[in-house]
Amino acid sequence: RISSATSLSSAIINTRLQELVKLFKERTEKVKEKLTDPDATSDDESPTTSPAKPAPAAAPVPPPAGEPEGDKPAEDEHYCEMLCCTFKYRPWLDHLKNYRFPSSIDPLTNLMYVLWLFFVVMAWNWNCWLIPVRWAFPYQTPANIHCWLVVDYLCDLIYLLDILVFQTRLQFVRGGDIITDKKAMTENYLRSQRFKMDVVCLLPLDFFYFKVGVNPLLRFPRCLKYMAFFEFNNRLEAILSKAYIYRVIRTTAYLLYSLHVNSCLYYWASAYEGLGSTTWVYDGEGNSYIRCYYWAVKTLITIGGLPDPKTLFEIAFQLLNYFTGVFAFSVMIGQMRDVVGAATAGQTYYRSCMDSTIKYMNFYKIPKTVQNRVKTWYEYTWHSQGMLDELELLVQLPDKMRLDIAIDVNYNIVSKVALFQGCDRQMIFDMLKRLRSVVYLPNDYVCKKGEIGREMYIIQAGQVQVLGGPDSKTVLVTLKAGSVFGEISLLAAGGGNRRTANVVAHGFANLFILDKKDLNEILVHYPESQKLLRKKAKKMLKTSNKPKDEKGAPRDPLIIPPKADTPKLFQAALAATGRMGGKGPLAQLRWRLKELKAMQA
């Protein structure tokens, strides 16, 4: 009993020592890899491109002895919306006090500048829409003249601030450099056409009020600030996700404004001829603006049913209206067609591609089941991505911009692949540009057992199932978004290793694919990463070929379990029997073991 307990304890100690030796070897290999490649990272760490989140506030550390408490950082900068926090100053008020107006403004990306342009355009619209109304209709009276003047001079103040504060701070490009010097920006604005038009807009014709009275036509130069309107359109369309909606609204506003001006001209013509003097002029009943606007709509759109003009002035005015209406209405229809066509250009391209494919399948009499799957692929790809091939969009961009987009979309997934951890970061960036997106339908085979593996797959969205078993229909594992499979095939020698299982899409799956050819073209420029990848591939292949996981993980069932090794003491006895040439049970067992070894070989 004592000897058996001793042998058992020695066996446990030997097993533990072997495990420790193996762990030390693995640690030594990792240290060697880090020494050969300083950029190498551990399996638990992966680089990320997303901005780091702010660390939680650390607990306050009491000052050491001898340090005055006045040196502690002030707590006024800490703002929190929880009830446990008290504010010495209101956050928005303190932020407003500390705000400093920028010395230079980027007109292409600064949202504050777009907001300011909105106020400038609102002031411009006030002048463009209400100056004709106040001139033609009797809406401006001595009783309300002060209200009109207050809003007028408020708009003039906005114009003046735009000249003095904003336009002199706009950055510009000269010789490829972005100029942010205040003096240079001011000189650039003073030499521009924009400054000349802005000065004309603010001509002080209001001084003539003292001589001719408050005549709205003296404010007509305020309508010449149209450059701000077109600049606002360009900036707003650049930040809107669906800019075509704004284009439709803007085109409709053009039509309404032309009708608005025509209604003002009709009331002026009626007042010139005399209200109610003929059947053609406005009779002075009801709401004057609504009735004149109704007449303008029927005239410009050439609906007809209008009373015939009587005098020469009325005939000339009506003919001019008809010609203007036909021209303006045709221009509006053409512009609206262009806006709608640009908004549905992608949908039209998708529909034409699908129709051409259906025509091709019908010509070659493709089975209906295949046709239905093709139609399903078109519909799902279009609705999930908004395009059929994203490479058509990216190929128009410069190489640097394509890399930036690829990093934001794919880097977080690729950096988690164990095979690529520790490789040159620039090599991974080059690899990201070679990834292509493929959509698989439900029950589509991503790869089949026995075929040569030439691609690596990264699941972007959806799930895939690995099938195995005797009938190749047993679900071994389900891989979800972010999982990677087939990475060892990229570096396998001899034409690539064969797939060991079927992989089927479970539902719709969007996968990124990296071809072996593309990776080899990249690795030519990164020999150190190529050595590291091959070493990792061999290690991963060894691990995957082990019959049993050392941590007790499930392994493939064996029909005939392997025979246990012959004890060393028994082997020594058999060897001694063979040397002495003895006969007996040991000699027979020795002969039988030789036969078994020969059969196994």
What residues does 170 pair with on adjacent strands? 105
Farthest-apart Cα atoms in the chain, separation: 146
Quickly tell me which residue has 């025979």 as its tokens.
Answer: 563
How many other β-carbons are positioned within 10 Å of the β-carbon of residue 490? Answer: 23
pLDDT band at 558 (very low <50, low <70, confident <90, very high): very low
pLDDT band at 70 (very low <50, low <70, confident <90, very high): very low
Are the C-beta atoms of 239 and 114 separated by less than 8 Å?
yes
φ/ψ of residue 122, rounded to 5: -65, -40
pLDDT digits (tens, 9 = 90+) for 422-443: 888 888 888 888 888 888 988 8
- Residue of higher predicted confidence among 369 and 1: 369
How far apart, in whole angstroms, are the C-alpha atoms of residue 250 and residue 256?
A: 10
Q: What residue type is 505 in one-letter code?
A: A
pLDDT band at 492 (very low <50, low <70, confident <90, very high): low
CA neighbor of 222 nearest in space, from 142, 287, 115, 128: 128
Topology (CATH level 3) of domain 392-545: Jelly Rolls (2.60.120)
pLDDT mean over 45-51: 41
Q: Where do the structural domains in the chain lie, given as residue ranges?
A: 101-239, 258-388, 392-545
289-298 contacts: CB < 8 A, separation 24 or more?
289/133, 289/137, 289/263, 292/263, 292/264, 292/266, 292/267, 293/259, 293/260, 293/263, 295/263, 295/266, 296/259, 296/260, 296/262, 296/263, 296/266, 297/259
pLDDT band at 581 (very low <50, low <70, confident <90, very high): low
pTM comes to 0.61
pLDDT digits (tens, 9 = 90+) for 256-269: 999 999 999 999 99
pLDDT band at 53 (very low <50, low <70, confident <90, very high): very low
Take residue 369 and report the two structure tokens written for it.
């089941």
Take residue 537 and report the two structure tokens written for it.
């591939």
User: C-alpha angle 380/384/390, rounded to 5°?
Assistant: 105
Which range among 4-13, 101-110, 137-146 shows the weakest confidence by mean pLDDT? 4-13
pLDDT band at 82 (very low <50, low <70, confident <90, very high): very low
Question: Mean of the per-residue pLDDT values for the chain?
Answer: 80
Radius of gyration of the chain, Cα coordinates, nearest whole angstrom: 41
pLDDT band at 56 (very low <50, low <70, confident <90, very high): very low
How many other β-carbons are positioned within 10 Å of the β-carbon of residue 378? Answer: 18
Which range among 52-61, 309-318, 540-549 shows the weakest confidence by mean pLDDT? 52-61
Which range among 87-101, 394-408, 490-504 shows the weakest confidence by mean pLDDT? 87-101
pLDDT mean over 334-338: 85
pLDDT at 54 over 50: no
Q: Which one-letter DSSP state was computed for residue 207?
A: G
pLDDT band at 418 (very low <50, low <70, confident <90, very high): confident
pLDDT band at 197 (very low <50, low <70, confident <90, very high): very high
pLDDT band at 391 (very low <50, low <70, confident <90, very high): low
- Sequence-separated (6 or more) residues with CB below 8 Å from residue 127: 155, 219, 222, 223
pLDDT mean over 170-199: 92
181-195, 373-387, 436-450, 535-549, range with greatest mean pLDDT = 181-195
Which pLDDT score is estimated for 45? Answer: 41
How far apart, in whole angstroms, are the C-alpha atoms of residue 109 and residue 578?
A: 91
Are the C-beta atoms of 482 and 416 separated by less than 8 Å?
yes
Are the C-beta atoms of 155 and 126 separated by less than 8 Å?
yes
Which pLDDT score is estimated for 62? Answer: 45
End-to-end CA distance of the chain: give it in Å, rounded. 39
The sign of the CA dihedral 322, 326, 327, 329 is: positive
Which pLDDT score is estimated for 585? Answer: 67
pLDDT band at 181 (very low <50, low <70, confident <90, very high): very high
3-state secondary structure of 144: coil
pLDDT digits (tens, 9 = 90+) for 247-258: 989 999 999 999
Residue 360 CB-density burial (10 A; 0-12 exposed, 13-18 middle, 19+ buried): exposed
Are the C-beta atoms of 574 and 593 separated by less than 8 Å?
yes
